[in-house]
Amino acid sequence: EVQLVESGGGQVQPGGTLRLSCAASGFTFSNYWMYWVRQVPGKGLVWVSHINNDGTSTTYADSVKGRFTISRDNAKNTLYLQMNSLRGEDTAMYYCAREIPDYRGNWFDPWGQGTLVTVSS
Amino acid sequence: DIQMTQSPSSLSASVGARVTITCRASQNIITYLNWYQQKPGKAPNLLIHAASILQNGVPSRFSGSGSGTDFTLTISSLQTEDFATYYCQQSYSTPLTFGQGTRLEIE
């Protein structure tokens, strides 16, 4: 079964740090680009960052650029999101997702169950 | 960035009803459009990719259509398990962007 399982969320004070992990199983992790998408409770989905299959290329939303770092360990089948200088507006559920590339476009399947990050004093 | 606008933002309907949700892109995205379903407390789940291709395992009462800037998701006969929030997402260009969601509630 193709599966993604996030961990590492929690409550942290403004200015603090967290590292999220996303453990992949059931597929050849090193063949796929991976994404982080976040969702403020009760709100919509927002792309945060993505990384190519070998980890040599990363892209970030402007809102997190310079504060968050995406990385991956293909030997461990794990995706990471290092989150520094956290702000209240970073409070959200964070999902990892596998990108399926196709000539007809790209889509996300599957998604992990999410890990909640709360930034509050 | 490409803006995705869904309508309506919320919708009430009865079991057995036919429902259509619209998604409009701020520029031509050809058919690079996906639809996801999200139930409360759960992760999004892919329903349709490339505007009209049903994901494996998704019931045939779901269908998608459109090209260019205007797209629709149709549920032909609502079932209890279909009450959820639906999101469109464009994959024409980075950043990949989502619509704001359409919440489908039981009438």
Site from B88, B91, B92 to mutate, A interface, most A CB atoms within 10 angstroms: B91
**What does the pLDDT profile of chain A (121 residues) look like in tens digits?**
999 999 999 999 999 999 999 999 999 999 999 999 999 999 999 999 999 999 999 999 999 999 999 999 999 999 999 999 999 999 999 999 999 998 889 999 999 999 999 999 9
Between chain A and chain B, the number of residue pairs with CB atoms below 8 A apart is: 64
Q: Identify the bridge partners of residue B54 per DSSP, sorted by sequence position.
A: B48
The structure tokens 């590492």 sit at A8
Distance between CA A60 and CA A22 in Å, rounded? 17
The structure tokens 């892209």 sit at A59
Distance between CA A55 and CA A77 in Å, rounded? 12
Distance between CA B46 and CA B65 in Å, rounded? 15
B46 in reach of chain A (CB within 8 A) = yes
Is A108 within 8 Å of B34 when comparing Cβ atoms? Answer: yes
Bridge-based pairing of strands B10-13 and B102-106 is parallel
* Both tokens assigned to B57: 């395992």
